[in-house]
Amino acid sequence: MTLQLGDTAPDFSAETTDGPIHFHEWVGDSWAVLFSHPKDFTPVCTTELGEVARLKPEFDKRNAKVIGLSVDPLDDHHAWIGDIAETQGHALNFPLIADPDRKIAELYGMIHPKANDTLTVRSVFIIGPDKKLKLSITYPASTGRNFEEILRTIDSLQLTAKHSVATPVNWRHGEDVIIAPSLNDEQAREKFPGGWKTLKPYLRITTQPQD
């Protein structure tokens, strides 16, 4: 199964380090970040889980829940948690899904046979409160993810879902944005009474709308 942007994220039930969950129910009215790991006790994954634990307050500020997944059993997850706290200085503070039968990994297309027949790649799925897939990124097993970038994309997704804007290259929260080309100038004047700078008819720069 290949998930595409705008698809409903598959629902599932699973055992996690925080107890059993039903995924859609767990997401609730929040945003969610589901990210997979090739297996437990791997070096890059250990650093990633420690970093997400460190950044969890930032995800919380954005009403975004984080949840990891590995195809190892729950007992291994619990054993691995100690290593993460010891080596990274941050204890796991979010659930880690046990997916030993690989059902969820298959459901989300996390196993890429040309990369490895059994191990999940480093997939990231950002899911909105409407349970639709908003963003997906796939990394090879050897490359650690940049979770500051994941936070940046959540900022952009949440802003552009609420306002008729797009975010330019390297944008960060608080910086200028682009007025959506779908708005003509008359419509834009209603939404952006403070005006904008026109670089090209299709490229109109304005200050970030405030909530």
More reliable by pLDDT, 38 or 176: 176
Tens-digit pLDDT profile for residues 75-91? 989 899 999 999 999 99
Within a domain: 151: no
Residue 152 maps to a domain? no
Q: Is the pLDDT of residue 7 over 60?
A: yes
Q: Please check whether residues 99 and 132 belong to one and the same domain.
A: yes
Helices H / strands E in the chain, number of each: 6, 11
Q: Where are the alpha helices (DSSP H) in the chain?
A: 23-27, 43-61, 74-88, 103-107, 147-162, 185-191
DSSP conformational letter for 188: H
* 30/120 same-domain check: yes
Identify the H or E element spanning 98.
Answer: strand 96-98
Given a contact cutoff of 8 angstroms between Cβ atoms, the answer to whether 119 and 139 are in contact is no
User: For the chain, what percent of residues have pLDDT higher than 90?
Assistant: 76
Report the pLDDT averaged over residues 136-160.
Answer: 93
Segments forming the whole domain that contains residue 117:
13-145
What mean pLDDT do residues 48-61 have? 97
Cα distance between residue 10 and residue 7, in whole Å: 9
Instruction: Answer yes or no: 45 catalytic.
Output: yes
> Which residue in 14, 32, 34, 45 is the catalytic one?
45
> How many domains are contained in the chain?
2
**Whole-angstrom Cα distance, residue 139 to residue 70?**
15
Residues 188 and 87 in one domain: no
**Statement to judge: residues 199 and 106 lie in one domain:** no
pTM score, two decimals?
0.92
For residue 79, being part of any structural domain is answered with yes
CA 154 vs CA 7, 136, 176: distances in Å:
18, 12, 16
Whether residues 60 and 109 fall in one domain: yes
